[in-house]
């Protein structure tokens, strides 16, 4: 592909990874980014001595990064180091029960038996099933384009379809989990994996029971320096490979001639290119960059994923009972998700996630203090007054955490910033502030995600959370791999 030029729109995880792969293949790559920094949602900031990862906080499947750097002729260890985390999550229930989700199947099964009375065998059987489901079906459909005939004609896919049981599509994740466990706490733990792609366990299919395999069987990891280190590593890799960046420079239009992409306009200047890869939300790509409102509206036929309200709190003391990842569950999970996907309101008793990277290394908060990333699942932005929502929600969350931890949380907050669905939409061009593009709240959602290429316009490709295979760091890295493979095949014809 030497001598060819590519434009990448957006420097989120998928945009950076795609730029690296294309540059490594010999292409001249130019990345346009509307913000002053790379990374999209995977960013960070510092305030009053506290360093906060601003977006994604969970690191799984580091092999995706390892493979990216290897493909580009580099070693990840020269750019980024990471450690396996022994406990993936600390779960807190209103009943007073506390469960440590060890990132090891045997240890986790023992904990579930000891604390909840669940059978070790039931837990191990579930995790074994999760592994088989991921390896036999998930890997094939996540690593390849679902919109190319060659994918469906392969023997591996034929075998995978043959092993796909109807219960994984006809049953919801909640129904499946209730058939496997006897306690509401265990069901709630495994239901929460639906949130990993912004969906409801009461609507999404049981197919999502493959997700626990990634976190518990394969493991949870922590990148030294925090999640922003992933962005920094990919940005440095891209720079080392000769990728050029233009920050504070949003693309205004994608140009085509006779059905073929010829370049873009940005900052009132025309840039020619042999191909364009959009890491921008596919809805905005069609609506604003291509001027195809009818195609943009077609994207909206699929339900948007959940969003989030995040409080970044600099805490004036330490909490020894907390760890890197902590979940404080709601009493009524069904009510919580009905609010997110039906009424557009946050429950008055939400589940609260607290991420504390200063637990892993010094320098991310002042000595004796902690940097809390406090996230609550929220509906997509449809015009809600988020300032009012955040004021009420802050009081609810402070009260909940104070009660469950037995300490006055509000008096310990020394500094604060917030993020809401409307701000997410503004800063990352994620339509309606949806964190994962579309939800997976129907049996065939995975097959309805937008493809990674355009059938109408030769040379136009799509990567990132709003297209196949979906949102989250692992899937965004996979989308970059899919796009680079498509480009390689298309240009070799």
- Non-local (6+) Cβ contacts of 183 within 8 A are 116, 117, 118
Give the relative orientation of helices 63-71 and 228-240 as an angle to the nearest 10 degrees.
10
pLDDT digits over 393-431, tens only? Answer: 999 999 999 999 999 999 999 999 999 999 999 999 999
Whole-model pTM: value is 0.95
CB 255 within 8 A of CB 41: no
- Compute the distance between CA of residue 300 and CA of residue 293 in angstroms, rounded to an integer: 11
pLDDT digits over 71-96, tens only? Answer: 999 999 999 999 999 999 999 999 99
Dihedral angle sign, alpha carbons of residues 473, 475, 481, 483: negative
CB atoms within 10 A of CB 321: 12
Both structure tokens of 293: 């409102």
Estimate to the nearest angstrom the gap between the alpha carbon of 280 and the chain centroid.
15
Per-chain mean pLDDT for the chain: 94
- Compute the distance between CA of residue 419 and CA of residue 376 in angstroms, rounded to an integer: 11
Q: Give yes or no for a cis peptide into 469 (omega within 30° of 0).
A: yes
| pLDDT value at 1 more than 80 | no
| pLDDT value at 146 more than 50 | yes
- Compute the distance between CA of residue 438 and CA of residue 420 in angstroms, rounded to an integer: 18
Give the relative orientation of helices 13-24 and 473-492 as an angle to the nearest 10 degrees.
30
- Compute the distance between CA of residue 330 and CA of residue 405 in angstroms, rounded to an integer: 14
| pLDDT value at 51 more than 70 | yes
For the chain, where do the domains classified as CATH 3.50.50.60 start and end? 1-43+227-301+444-493
Element (H, E) at 253: strand 251-257
Q: Region 21-50: what's the mean pLDDT?
A: 98
- Compute the distance between CA of residue 271 and CA of residue 57 in angstroms, rounded to an integer: 35
The burial class, CB within 10 Å (0-12 / 13-18 / 19+), for 77 is exposed
User: What is the maximum alpha-carbon separation in the chain?
Assistant: 67
First vs last Cα of the chain: how many Å apart?
Answer: 11
- Compute the distance between CA of residue 389 and CA of residue 374 in angstroms, rounded to an integer: 15
Both structure tokens of 119: 């059978």
Q: Region 213-217: what's the mean pLDDT?
A: 95
pLDDT band per the 50, 70, 90 thresholds, residue 156? low
Give the model's pLDDT for residue 236.
98
Provide the CATH number for the domain formed by 1-43+227-301+444-493 in this structure. 3.50.50.60
Give the model's pLDDT for residue 158.
60
Give the model's pLDDT for residue 160.
61
């Amino acid at each position: 592909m030497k001598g060819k030029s590519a434009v990448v729109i957006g420097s989120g995880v998928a945009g950076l990874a795609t730029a690296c792969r294309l540059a490594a293949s010999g292409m001249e790559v130019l990345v346009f980014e509307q913000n002053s920094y790379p990374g999209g949602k995977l960013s960070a900031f510092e305030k009053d001595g506290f360093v906060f990862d601003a977006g994604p906080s969970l690191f799984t499947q580091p092999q995706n990064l390892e493979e990216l750097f290897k493909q580009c002729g580099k070693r990840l260890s020269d750019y980024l180091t990471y450690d396996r985390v022994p406990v993936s999550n600390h779960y807190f229930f209103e009943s007073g029960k506390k469960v440590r989700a060890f990132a090891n199947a045997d240890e986790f099964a023992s904990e579930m038996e000891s604390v909840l009375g669940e059978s070790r065998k039931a837990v191990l059987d579930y995790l074994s099933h999760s592994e088989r489901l991921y390896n036999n079906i998930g890997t094939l459909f996540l690593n390849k384009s679902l919109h190319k005939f060659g994918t469906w004609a392969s023997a591996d896919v034929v075998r995978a379809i043959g092993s796909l049981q109807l219960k994984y599509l006809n049953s919801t994740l909640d129904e499946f989990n209730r058939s496997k466990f006897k306690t509401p706490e265990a069901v709630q733990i495994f239901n929460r994996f639906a949130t990993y792609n912004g969906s409801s366990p009461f609507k999404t299919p049981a197919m999502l029971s493959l997700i626990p395999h990634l976190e518990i069987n394969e493991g949870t990891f922590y990148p030294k320096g925090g999640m922003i280190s992933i962005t920094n590593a990919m940005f440095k890799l891209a720079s080392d490979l000769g990728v050029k960046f233009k920050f504070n420079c949003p693309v205004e239009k994608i140009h085509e001639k006779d059905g073929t992409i010829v370049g873009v306009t940005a900052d009132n200047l025309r840039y020619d290119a042999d191909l364009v890869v959009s890491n921008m939300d596919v809805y905005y790509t069609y609506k604003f960059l291509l001027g195809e409102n009818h195609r943009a509206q077609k994207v909206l036929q699929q339900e948007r994923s959940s969003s989030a309200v995040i409080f970044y709190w600099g805490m004036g003391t330490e909490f020894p009972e907390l760890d890197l990842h902590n979940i404080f569950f709601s009493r009524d999970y069904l009510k919580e998700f009905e609010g997110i996907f039906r009424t557009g309101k946050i429950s008055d008793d939400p589940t609260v996630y607290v991420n504390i990277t200063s637990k892993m290394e010094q320098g991310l908060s002042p000595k004796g203090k902690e940097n809390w990333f406090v996230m609550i699942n929220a509906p997509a932005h449809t015009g809600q007054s988020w300032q009012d929502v955040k004021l009420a929600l802050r009081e609810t969350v402070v009260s909940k955490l104070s009660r469950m931890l037995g300490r006055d949380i509000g008096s310990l907050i020394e500094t604060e910033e917030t993020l809401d669905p409307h701000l997410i939409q503004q800063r990352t061009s994620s339509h309606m502030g949806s964190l994962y593009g579309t939800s997976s709240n129907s049996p065939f959602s995975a097959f309805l995600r937008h493809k990674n290429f355009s059938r109408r316009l030769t040379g136009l490709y799509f990567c990132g959370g709003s297209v196949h295979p979906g949102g989250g760091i692992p899937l965004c890295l996979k989308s970059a791999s899919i796009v680079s493979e498509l480009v390689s095949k298309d240009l070799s014809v």
